[in-house]
Amino acid sequence: MLADSGARMVVADAETVAAVRTATTTVNQGGDRAVRVVVVGAPLEADERSYDDLCSVEPRTVPPLRDPEKLAVLLYTSGTSGLPRAVMLTHRALVANLDQVATVDPPMIHSDDVVLGVLPLFHVYGLNAVLGGVLRHRAKLVLAERFDPEGTLDLIEDEACSVVPVAPPVFAYWRDVDALEERLGPVRLVLSGSAPLAAEVIDDFTSRTGIPVHQGYGLTEAAPVVTTTLRSEKPEPGSVGAPLDGIELRLVDDDGVPLSGADLADPGEIEIRGANLFSGYWPDGADGPDADGWWATGDVGVLDDAGDLHLVDRVKDLVIVSGFNVYPTEVEAVLLEVPGVRHAAVIGAEDELTGEAVVAYVVPAGPEAAAAALVTAVEEHCEQRLARFKRPTRIEVVAELPHTVTGKVQKGRLRGRERRRALGLLE
């Protein structure tokens, strides 16, 4: 990322400075520019500066932004396939999304709210939806170094946090916490994003705590919020809500033709248009919005009668078996019905006969689960619930799945494992 972005300075704390020094040394040796290291709370090495030194200068008035199209931030996507790409977000895009979110009624954030800041600020969810939203509404932000199931609940109680934006894995960590409803006493609203959250998880959490959970759909390229259930008249199970004011959303078929009428009952790729969209990928703006301002998200969804969006899958995650489309989320939902399966992920693997085959990775619910018995149970259940072409041809029982910090399964890593297996590098 340092080499790709052209960065000239890196700010690092005591926990990260060793990795930063290694990276900057490599970049400085291989290029014609020097990347400076600024250190927070740790001893300096040669040619480094302390953050305190930088902060010792007299503050200056921030000049007005003359060109809102200037680049504000490069955010690297999680890279589900290939190397991560840097999303070029301008000041215009970031501010536009803050204004779009601010039109939601009832509002996500009030000026007297205390908002929990446990999401990483290098992720667009934490950076603009949380930090940006707090600044936009002049609310209070309580920053936490990291999420800890018990420690974060203590922080919510101590600081009287009223709005809690989180990623889906948090609900699993809190599921078995005693007196959860009491410890979340100050909270009026929980926001969930970055990955889909099952309807039954929301129902279980809300029935236990009395706190509403609102989902949203967003992308780094949209700065990030596109839809929210706060915009829904009556959110249906599995919905991620309706588009924000100022954002247009449509579904298109495999040829890029917008779906309409009865065809809207079928899944289509989600395209969006709005002032919040990015300017393409670094460095040349490739693959940004088209001439008419539309950008294809790579996500598959359906719209219900109320105009709310339901996510189906990623276009890149589609598995095509003998010409038939298999949506991994559908298969994963069936796998999670099996007693003894805690988590599941489905990907496609090359197959000589069918083009691709369905491969399932499952995490057992407890250490006592026998892998062979679990595989048998999954196979028998899939025979009852899935068409033949949707059934996994191989089931891998693993201790855990690779996740990003915001809870998304890194299917690119699972696909890499399958490629190594095909090459004979794995048994």
Q: What pLDDT score does 82 carry?
A: 52
Q: What pLDDT score does 247 carry?
A: 98
Give pLDDT tens digits for 275-295.
Answer: 999 999 999 999 999 999 999
CA atoms lying within 13 Å on the CB side of residue 90:
17
In the chain, the largest separation of any two C-alpha atoms, in whole Å, equals 70
Q: What pLDDT score does 194 carry?
A: 75
Give pLDDT tens digits for 51-104.
Answer: 998 888 888 888 888 899 999 999 998 644 456 789 999 999 999 999 999 999
State yes or no: pLDDT of 195 exceeds 80.
Answer: no
Instruction: Report the percentage of the chain scoring pLDDT > 90.
Output: 67
Q: What pLDDT score does 81 carry?
A: 44
Question: Residue 349 CA to chain centroid, in angstroms?
Answer: 24
Q: Rounded CA gap, 81 and 96, in Å?
A: 29
Give pLDDT tens digits for 218-232.
Answer: 999 999 999 999 999
Mean pLDDT of the chain: 91
Give pLDDT tens digits for 218-272.
Answer: 999 999 999 999 999 887 888 999 999 999 999 999 889 999 887 887 899 999 9
Q: What pLDDT score does 355 carry?
A: 84
Averaged pLDDT, 289-317: 91
Averaged pLDDT, 397-415: 86
Confidence class of residue 368 from pLDDT cuts 50, 70 and 90?
low
Confidence class of residue 412 from pLDDT cuts 50, 70 and 90?
confident
Give pLDDT tens digits for 11-44.
Answer: 999 999 999 999 999 999 877 778 999 999 999 9
Of 109-123, 379-393, 406-420, least confident by mean pLDDT is: 406-420
Residue whose C-alpha is closest to residue 165's, from 129, 113, 219:
129
Q: Rounded CA gap, 424 and 52, in Å?
A: 53
Q: Rounded CA gap, 20 and 2, in Å?
A: 10
**Domains of the chain with bracketed CATH:** 2-55 (no CATH), 71-314 (3.40.50.12780), 319-422 (3.30.300.30)
What does the DSSP assignment read for 109-145?
--TT-EEEE-S-TTSHIIIIIIIIHHHHHT-EEEE-S
Residues 359 and 349: beta-carbon distance below 8 Å:
yes
Q: What pLDDT score does 318 carry?
A: 85
Q: What pLDDT score does 80 carry?
A: 43
State yes or no: pLDDT of 48 exceeds 50.
Answer: yes
Q: What pLDDT score does 427 carry?
A: 61
State yes or no: pLDDT of 317 exceeds 70.
Answer: yes
Averaged pLDDT, 362-388: 89
Residues 226 and 219: beta-carbon distance below 8 Å:
yes
Question: Which token pair is 332?
Answer: 């994963």
Q: Rounded CA gap, 168 and 215, in Å?
A: 10
Residue whose C-alpha is closest to residue 141's, from 117, 176, 169, 165:
117
Give pLDDT tens digits for 131-173.
Answer: 999 999 999 999 998 899 999 999 999 999 999 999 887 888 8
